[in-house]
Amino acid sequence: MSVVAPPDHPSSGGGWARALAAFARRAPLLPVLIFLALLMVWPVAQLLGLSFFNDQGQLTWGHYSQLFSSRIYVEVLWITVRLAFFTTVVAVIVAYPVAFVIANSENKVRAWLYFLVLIPFWTSFLVRALAWMVLLGRNGTINSWAQALGLTDAPMSLIYNFAGVLIGTTHALLPMAIIIIVSVMENIDQNLSKAAMTMGGGRGTAFWRVFFPLSLPGVTSAALLVFLSALGFFITPTLLGGRREVVISQLIITEIQEMLNWPFGGAVSVLLLGCALVIFWLYDRLAGFSALGAAAQARVAAEPSRLSRVFARLSIALLGVLGRITDRLLALAGADSRPLEDSRTGGRSASLAWKVAAGSVLFFACAPIFIMIPVSFTQKAVMEWPPSGFTFEWYRMYLQSPQWISATVTSFTVAFAASLLTMALAVPAAFVLIRQTVVGRSAIMALLLSPMVVPRIIIAIALFYVYSGIGLVGTTVGLVLGHAVLSIPYALMGVMTVLRNYDERLDQAAQILGAGKTQTFVRITLPLIRFGVLSAFLLAFITSFDDLTVSLFITGGLSTTLPKQMWEDATLQVSPVLAAVSTLIIVFMLVVLALLEWLRRRGEASLKAQAGQSQ
């Protein structure tokens, strides 16, 4: 029976007092809502609004007719959507086996594999794009190895074309896809596949008819988020694409930074946001929003649309056929007689084929990052493969450059301040959202998570526009506020997860035993959730530390951050100093990740202690 205090319906005397108390319990939600309304909703609305007015402030469709009259813009839109589409397809397909192996491994192995996914996930897009430049370049790693092995005579063009961009963006978004799919697969009852097999299904049938359909919500939400992210992407396309791979975000940047054409930039932003919304709508039709964020559980929409019912019937038939085929193949290979339960792994194990597939994908995800380390010690003046000689020259240059050092200091300061602010806003909100029923909860959640969904480039420009009116451009305060907007969803989800697993009866017990609200929080709640809160803080920290998009627009001079400094260097000249800085960032990330992992284990131990008791 639920013990959470829900909204009270004042029925008798003292109704006002009760209503007031009910409001007071939900008041901690207000700061974060106001914050996002001011720094996210209002700026984006203004930016979008701009596109409907001309210089004289009259309503006009002019910017849009300009947008659609020129072939260039439509073509750019087409390139962007095509890139996003292929990225999504490739990323989801290669993510699936990795997620499958992770979800079906025993706990210790799973933790390590997951760690291997988190490394690329938290390494900045910029560092990873630079790594691909070294790998794919004319004198890059792959070309030099291919030539050494005699596979080709002349260097292949792997970069500055669609394939190069596709590899880069897929690599950029793959870890996210894996994480989302794993979160759904982990909640699929292992016994269901076994049950299917006891009822006469082969391994293949059990997978295709039971496991795969249950994992689909993960696949579709991964696809949605990858697509949306790819839509607003510009870092990888700019660094790895050729002249023909201009994407919509680059167009927005050019319009606003070089042409200062705000209304037109706004119109292009509307186009980008429109694309995102259409995708959302399609997703809702086909998969239903219940699947999103259902990381928690794979629920079937209460009233499936006709389209999704037809879709469902077709897919059941298809899955049946796939299952039969796989069963036959496994029988031919003699692999169908493997014992069901492996006592060592407690029945969790994936077959060799899965493991090989997952291993290669994980290698693809992790290895490129480390290519930067040897390059940073090269004696050549360009980032090239193979590195020759050994020198600390580039590290020395970094340490002696006031620009680099100031950027580093700014990055740390801003990230620290932004994550403190984020936590101050997100923690109280998470408590309300988990422990109280709130009217309009889904709308509130949508607002709180919107910085993750609205293309970041739009947030950045919108903030730039609003900031320029109030003198916040180029200030640390402006940057901290902007980064807090970006970090709120991550921190909020982190804290909410911890609180969801927290047994509220512990707080109730403390209160009955005589502890007041404050004492309960300090002596019971906080000690039990501190690891989770700390890791949410670190997530916020990395989000800010890693951000290029917002920094690109609202910093300048002394307030330049590390990613922005790297971006400027990367677009002008590609010096091994970048490799040195990248190496330092990678090492820093690894330290933070190791810390996060340690916190996660500690947190899990204290949650397990609670769970162990309720058995």
Partner 1 sequence: MNPIQETAGRQTVDAARNLTGRAVKLQVEKLAKHYGEFTALSPSSLDVHQGEFLTLLGPSGSGKTTLLMMVAGLVVPSGGEIRIDGRVATSVPPSKRDIGMVFQNYALFPHLTVFENIAFPLRMRRVPEAQIRKDVMRVLEMVELPHVAERVPRALSGGQQQRIALARCIVYAPSIILMDEPLGALDKRLRDQLQIEIKNLHKSLGTTILYVTHDQQETLTMSDRICLMNHGRIEQVGTPTDLYFTPKTEFGAAFLGESNILPIADVTASDGGISFTLPLDGHVRMSAPHSTVAPADAAKIMLRPEWLSVTVAPPQEAFNSVRGKVADIIFTGEVTRYFVSTGSGTPLAASQLTRPGDRAINVGDDVYISWPRERTYVLAREGAAA
Q: Contact positions toward partner 1, by CB under 8 A?
A: 1, 3, 5-12, 18, 21, 437, 503, 505-506, 508-516, 519, 523-524, 527-528, 606, 608-610, 612-615
Residues 82, 178, 348, 502: is their CA dihedral positive or negative?
Answer: negative
User: Measured from the CB of residue 33, what is the shortest distance to partner 1 in angstroms?
Assistant: 22
Tokens of residue 1, six digits: 């029976």
Burial (CB count within 10 angstroms: exposed 0-12, middle 13-18, buried 19+), residue 324 = middle
Is 497 or 520 the residue whose CB approaches partner 1 more closely?
Answer: 520
Q: Angle at CA 429, nearest 5°, toward 426 and 432?
A: 150
User: Measured from the CB of residue 453, what is the shortest distance to partner 1 in angstroms?
Assistant: 29
User: Measured from the CB of residue 390, what is the shortest distance to partner 1 in angstroms?
Assistant: 50
Tokens of residue 121, six digits: 């996930």
User: Measured from the CB of residue 437, what is the shortest distance to partner 1 in angstroms?
Assistant: 8
Is 69 or 615 the residue whose CB approaches partner 1 more closely?
Answer: 615
User: Measured from the CB of residue 533, what is the shortest distance to partner 1 in angstroms?
Assistant: 15
Own/partner pairs for 437-446, CB < 8 Å, 24+ apart? Answer: 437/4, 437/6, 437/7, 438/26, 438/29, 439/7, 444/29, 444/33
Within 10 angstroms of residue 3's Cβ, the number of other Cβ atoms is 7
Closest listed residue to residue 569, CA positions, set 398, 412, 410: 398
- Is-contact 428 448, C-beta < 8 A? no
Owner of token pair 């001309």: 54
User: Measured from the CB of residue 599, what is the shortest distance to partner 1 in angstroms?
Assistant: 15
Whole-angstrom Cα distance, residue 353 to residue 359? 10
Q: Residue 59 pairs with which residues in a beta bridge?
A: 53
Is 469 or 527 the residue whose CB approaches partner 1 more closely?
Answer: 527
Dihedral angle computed from the Cα positions of residues 432, 433, 439 and 445, in that order, rounded to the nearest 10 degrees: 140
Who contacts 459 (Cβ-Cβ below 8 Å, separation ≥6)? 40, 43, 44, 451, 482, 485, 486, 549, 550
Is 49 or 516 the residue whose CB approaches partner 1 more closely?
Answer: 516
Is 401 or 436 the residue whose CB approaches partner 1 more closely?
Answer: 436
Is 6 or 274 the residue whose CB approaches partner 1 more closely?
Answer: 6
Tokens of residue 348, six digits: 């969790």
Within 10 angstroms of residue 427's Cβ, the number of other Cβ atoms is 22
DSSP assignment of 20-65 equals: HHHHHHHGGGHHHHHHHIIIIIHHHHHHHHHTTB-TTS-B--HHHH
Is 508 or 573 the residue whose CB approaches partner 1 more closely?
Answer: 508
Within 10 angstroms of residue 486's Cβ, the number of other Cβ atoms is 23
Residues 433, 439, 442, 448: is their CA dihedral positive or negative?
Answer: negative
Is 37 or 609 the residue whose CB approaches partner 1 more closely?
Answer: 609
Is 307 or 522 the residue whose CB approaches partner 1 more closely?
Answer: 522
User: Measured from the CB of residue 172, what is the shortest distance to partner 1 in angstroms?
Assistant: 40
- For residue 265, the one-letter residue type is G
Is 389 or 514 the residue whose CB approaches partner 1 more closely?
Answer: 514
Owner of token pair 């970048």: 578
User: Measured from the CB of residue 32, what is the shortest distance to partner 1 in angstroms?
Assistant: 25
Closest listed residue to residue 119, CA positions, set 593, 543, 540, 598: 593
User: Measured from the CB of residue 612, what is the shortest distance to partner 1 in angstroms?
Assistant: 5
Is 337 or 613 the residue whose CB approaches partner 1 more closely?
Answer: 613
Whole-angstrom Cα distance, residue 145 to residue 125? 25
User: Measured from the CB of residue 507, what is the shortest distance to partner 1 in angstroms?
Assistant: 9
Cis geometry, peptide bond prior to residue 386 (ω within 30 degrees of 0)? yes
- For residue 446, the one-letter residue type is A
- Is-contact 381 577, C-beta < 8 A? no
Is 560 or 606 the residue whose CB approaches partner 1 more closely?
Answer: 606
Whole-angstrom Cα distance, residue 499 to residue 516? 20
Whole-angstrom Cα distance, residue 361 to residue 178? 10
Is 3 or 332 the residue whose CB approaches partner 1 more closely?
Answer: 3
Owner of token pair 């709130």: 438
Is 191 or 437 the residue whose CB approaches partner 1 more closely?
Answer: 437
Is 257 or 437 the residue whose CB approaches partner 1 more closely?
Answer: 437
